């Protein structure tokens, strides 16, 4: 009989409690799934989360930092990521997003992962959401 792998919720101290019953990340065996992250700044006790700014650049950079925090809390890095999914609210943001993304990952030897970009509706004020799938080891 095969031993069942334990599933572990990942929530960095910098993140607020999710508004519904989910985790910022889940690790099972050597797989780490980072839930969709948005451009909220670090958690401040007693304050509701809010976007770091109104621009795509501000929100995308913070969103990538938030994904990175979950990766690191789960024992991973961008080098372990095999899939990135980006959710944009405006098709006109695609070219700018690619510039920001390329700048953020400029120091990596290879592209961080396969990537999909889709267009969605997000809560008011949010322009981008990003999730990631990492395989450790």
Provide the pairing of β-strand 25-28 with 114-119: unpaired
pTM of the full structure: 0.94
**pLDDT at residue 48 above 90?**
no
Q: What is the mean pLDDT of the chain?
A: 94
Split at pLDDT 50, 70, 90, the class of 1 is: low
CB atoms within 10 A of CB 92: 9
What is the DSSP-derived secondary structure letter of residue 4?
P
Assess if CATH 3.20.20.70 describes domain 7-125. Answer: no
Selected residue with higher pLDDT from 129 and 19:
129
Provide the pairing of β-strand 128-135 with 7-10: unpaired
Selected residue with higher pLDDT from 22 and 89:
89
Do 125 and 52 meet the contact criterion of CB atoms below 8 Å apart? no
The 10s digit of each residue's pLDDT in 74-92 is: 999 999 999 999 999 999 9
Domain ranges of the chain: 7-125
Give CA–CA dist 84/114, Å, rounded: 6
């Amino acid at each position: 009989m095969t031993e069942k792998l334990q599933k572990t919720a990942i929530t960095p101290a910098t993140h607020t409690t999710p508004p519904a019953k989910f985790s910022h990340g889940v690790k099972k065996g050597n797989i780490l799934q980072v839930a969709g992250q948005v451009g909220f700044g670090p958690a401040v006790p007693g304050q509701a989360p809010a976007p770091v700014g109104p621009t795509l650049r501000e929100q995308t950079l913070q969103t990538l930092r938030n994904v990175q925090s979950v990766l690191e809390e789960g024992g991973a890095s961008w080098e372990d990521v095999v899939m990135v999914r980006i959710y944009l609210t405006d098709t006109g943001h695609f070219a700018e997003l690619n510039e920001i993304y390329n700048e953020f990952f400029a120091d990596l030897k290879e592209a961080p992962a396969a990537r999909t970009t889709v267009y969605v509706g997000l809560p008011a004020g949010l322009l981008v959401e990003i999730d990631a799938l990492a395989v450790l080891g």
